[in-house]
Amino acid sequence: MSVAADASGTAKLLNWRIESERADGRIAVIMEVHDDHTNRHGNMHGGLIATVLDTAMGATASFLKGDGGRIPFSTISMTVNFIAPMPLGIITATGRIMGGGYKTVFVEGEAHDQNNTLIAQATGTFKRAPMP
What is the pLDDT at residue 3? Answer: 44
User: CA-CA distance, 51 to 84, in Å (whole number)?
Assistant: 16
Q: How buried is residue 94: exposed, middle or buried, by Cβ count under 10 Å (0-12/13-18/19+)? A: buried
3-state secondary structure of 93: strand
Q: Report the chain (132 residues): mean pLDDT per 10 consecutive residues.
A: 59 86 83 96 97 95 88 95 98 96 95 98 94 64
What is the pLDDT at residue 6? Answer: 57
What is the pLDDT at residue 132? Answer: 61
Question: Could you tell me if 119 and 49 are in contact, meaning their C-beta atoms sit under 8 angstroms apart?
Answer: yes
Record the pTM.
0.90
